[in-house]
Amino acid sequence: MRHLTSLSRSAVRLGGARHAVRSFASTPLSSSSSLSRSDIVFEADASKVAKEVRKRGMATEISSAGSMDRDTIIRLLYSLGSRQEVERYLRIFTSSSKGASGGVLPEAKFAVLKVGGAILTNELDDLALSLSFLNRLGLFPIVLHGAGPQLNDILEAEGVVPDYEDGIRITDAKTLQVARRVFLQENLKLTTALERLGTRARPIPTGVFTADYLDKNKYGLVGRITRVDKAPIEAAIRAGCLPILTSLAENADGQILNVNADVAAGELARVLEPMKIVYLNEKGGLFHGVTGKKLSTINLDEEYDSLMKESWVKFGTKLKLREIKELLDTLPRSSSVAIISTDMLQKELFTDAGAGTLIRRGYKLYKQDATDAVGSTQLRQVFQERDPDVISGKKSVAEIFGDFKATPHTIYGDEPLDVVAVVSHPPGETPVMTKFLPSRPGILNKIVDNVFDAVKKDHKRLFWTANADDENRAWHFERADGSFTRAGRSLFWYGVPNVKEVEGIIDKFETTGRIERVFLPVGPSVPPHRQAGAESARASSTLSGQRRQFSTCPGPQDFRRGYATATDVPRKRVALIGARGYTGQNLVSLINSHPHLDLTHVSSRELAGLPLKGYSKSDVKYSNLSVEDVKKMEEDNVVDAWIMALPNGICKPFVDAIEGAKEKGGKGVIIDLSADYRFEKDWTYGLPEIYGRDVVKGSLRISNPGCYATNMQLLLAPLMPHLDPSQAPTVYGVSGYSGAGTKSGEKDVDGHPKTMPKIGPSDLRGGIRPYSLTDHIHERESSTHLSTLLGQGSNFHLSFIPTVAPWFAGIISTVSAPLAKSMRASEINELYREKYEHERMCHIAKEVPDVIDIEGKHGWKMGGVQVHSSGKRVVVVGVLDNLLKGAATQCLQNLNLALGYDELDGIPLDQI
């Protein structure tokens, strides 16, 4: 269920959906292409779609994008979400403005897109591909761009120091002269990029905004917009061109005035009332200033006053929220603001899941114990129009209202009754949501989520039903711990993790008549069969000769806005193959404290039969699992995830066995800690802070980055757009001896072989030892994956020198990187701050970090930025624990994302 009718103050700071759109908009498919929904890998992430397209050999040069047809694009969109989602949003986008007033074309009502100047520099191709993609669907986004960074660079080069007052650039005649030139150059650059893709675009650098002086004495040639002329925009769209605007305005005397681009986009939105306004935010949304978690949704009517009182809401954040509220207060209530990252545009526009932070006005919610308190007349109309029982004639509204009086009920909803929920809760009995009646606006604007969350706050356990063919059935699956379907109806529940208890509750429902007969067993139930070793696992029960499936695992997921709690998701079972080494021991400890994971199998040839130390949730013994054992376990769905903690070159037979079980229903997640699959295109490379979380969510095959490689990539990622392409950066890395692995030693008192380092302090004699001085595997790994940050076809290289030192754990790496242009240390520090300030696992320091700072910690730390006197070379230092963030902790991050949990579940937050 999703907004889709969204807009906002500063309009869309759009980017490129660089993963999906690069393939979409550059794919020359004819209408005869036989690409169906079932042909595509169903992932809620655009990069998976792009990967599938490339695998099929359909990706070509950008210049051939013109031959791509609309039907092909729509079929590709089915890979981002369900067919119903995509088609629903396409209908909305193409029909919502048919009744547009004031002479505004329907096409002008789709979206206003605010593009920051940095995007035109760093992501121009992605932006052009995204716009071309939308245009081939028959949509005409109105693009308004800034050019702040470009203007600052030119002014600095010409000896003009930028000056600001109240956050507004003071604009004198020389600054305005440069600004006009820069805006025209950037405007033409974007229109040219679009024309190269075969998408017609019209530059409109001036002529749309009329303004007066904001305060000539104080700000100089800065304008306050007084009028927006739609005519140039409408003329461009009538000619089949995308309008590309700047924020330059003119006063009545013809004087050009500079206007803040965010303000200009807001004024444009007020006049056009477009369907969508989306900010591009490199961080992917707004983040809570204390917890660091992304704010999934903000409902201003409910949350604005309290949010503005939060201690962390200040300065720019407070100003942005205030401006967004002021804009939304002038627009239709269906309007909303989406703040997303550049690669999430298609997911934001065409799926229920959306992306980033969604801000909308919403409505205040209510809950009442009587129909009269809600308004019986209005409530009666809701039931007459939406309740399937009333529409089919099965029950009258009067009968339903009578049921409310017979047993205790609570009615939940929003002020305009776009969503109504009724929960029956007799004393001492399990609550049942007997009615859930959303309107279409209630679904699109995600009021359904607000109401359901209100129900969940009051009821720790709940049962409810839905039609099996409900187009929004995935929404119900997401919110349920379990479900089963009979006779075209599905029963869902949460808060009851034990299957046997579920059976007992359903039996009681039968005797009290609180739920429809179709969901109940035909005869007496027998205790459910349980797979060996699978406590509270997916189970089935035999009911009078019939098989009825109970699932404690939610159905199809699109990773809705919000965060999982202990009652949102079921427990999952993990098998650890190769548990003897240091990394395996750390994984055992982490899973032992995980709120949702159970370690059910640990495999070690040397320790087979011995009890597992350090795990207290249950009694687990080491086993020596063969390839055949693993395949049979996967076929029987004995575990939900496999962690391969084996040396390089060892795990392939096990992976092949798991792959071979797919045809018999195997669907376990694999995370490989070796280097075996880090270069495989069909595997997801799991470094969330750099390559994103959505690529990991729902992935079944994940390669865990190497320890050195993690440190190197975290250090280099913010620098990538600024490096000198003709000179490779050099990384000097020093690791504790635990990174060399373990060997078996003498046995302890319990019969366990003692874990001994392959290389120890005595071997090093107190010194350090360089090794693998060229062609180290982590050198190639880091180079390969960092290349993807520079765009398709890029070929990045770095030089790496590893060294082992006489401390136990911890890596310190020093990067020396040539720069493409002269930069200051403050600018470099800002790059890291922008990249990592909201990453809970990443710490930014001024001083050079020390290994002591990070040993035994689960995060990563960087600092010590220094720039050579030439300004053309930067040195940066980073540290992490090679056994934790370099291995076990990162593995748990990836496992959490893949299984649908919060990324940091099970990771001690006080040890990051």
Residue 375 region by backbone torsions, left for phi larger than 0, else alpha for psi between -120 and 50, else beta: left
Q: Of these residues, 241, 553, 651, 707, which one is catalytic? A: 707
Task: Please identify which residue in the block is written with the tokens 């981002």.
Answer: 80
741-746 contact pairs (CB < 8 A, 24+): 741/581, 741/582, 741/647, 742/580, 742/581, 742/582, 744/606
Q: Do 654 and 671 contact (CB within 8 A), yes or no? A: no
Residue 315 region by backbone torsions, left for phi larger than 0, else alpha for psi between -120 and 50, else beta: left
Q: DSSP strand E in 613-706: where? A: 622-623, 641-644, 669-672, 684-685, 701-703
d(CA 757, CA 500): 47
d(CA 767, CA 757): 16
Q: Do 604 and 579 contact (CB within 8 A), yes or no? A: yes
Q: Do 702 and 672 contact (CB within 8 A), yes or no? A: yes
The Cβ of residue 730 has, within 10 Å, a number of other Cβ atoms equal to 15
d(CA 354, CA 341): 11
Residues with Cβ within 8 Å of residue 7, at least 6 apart in sequence: 111, 112, 269, 273, 274, 275, 276, 277, 327, 328, 331, 335, 336, 337
3-state secondary structure string, 247-273? CEEECCCCCEEECCHHHHHHHHHHHHC
The span from the first CA to the last CA of the chain, in angstroms, equals 35
Q: Do 752 and 621 contact (CB within 8 A), yes or no? A: no
d(CA 812, CA 881): 9
Q: Do 244 and 203 contact (CB within 8 A), yes or no? A: yes
Q: Which of 145, 140, 124, 144 is nearest to 62 (CA)?
A: 124
Q: Do 247 and 208 contact (CB within 8 A), yes or no? A: no
Residue 675 region by backbone torsions, left for phi larger than 0, else alpha for psi between -120 and 50, else beta: alpha
Q: Which two tokens stand for residue 335?
A: 């309007």
The Cβ of residue 889 has, within 10 Å, a number of other Cβ atoms equal to 27
The string of DSSP letters for 111-122 reads EEEEE-HHHHHH
Task: Please identify which residue in the block is written with the tokens 């001085």.
Answer: 773
Residue 242 region by backbone torsions, left for phi larger than 0, else alpha for psi between -120 and 50, else beta: beta
Q: Do 573 and 537 contact (CB within 8 A), yes or no? A: yes
DSSP 547: E
Q: Do 637 and 600 contact (CB within 8 A), yes or no? A: no
Q: Which two tokens stand for residue 868?
A: 């050579």
Q: Which of 612, 674, 666 is nearest to 640 (CA)?
A: 666
707 is catalytic: yes
What are the two backbone dihedrals, phi and then psi, of residue 815, each rounded to the nearest 5 degrees? -100, 130
Residues in the chain, total: 912
* Distances, alpha carbon 435 to alpha carbons 74, 416, 511, in Å: 34, 17, 20
Judged on CB neighbours under 10 Å (0-12, 13-18, 19+), 262 is: buried
* Active site members: 707
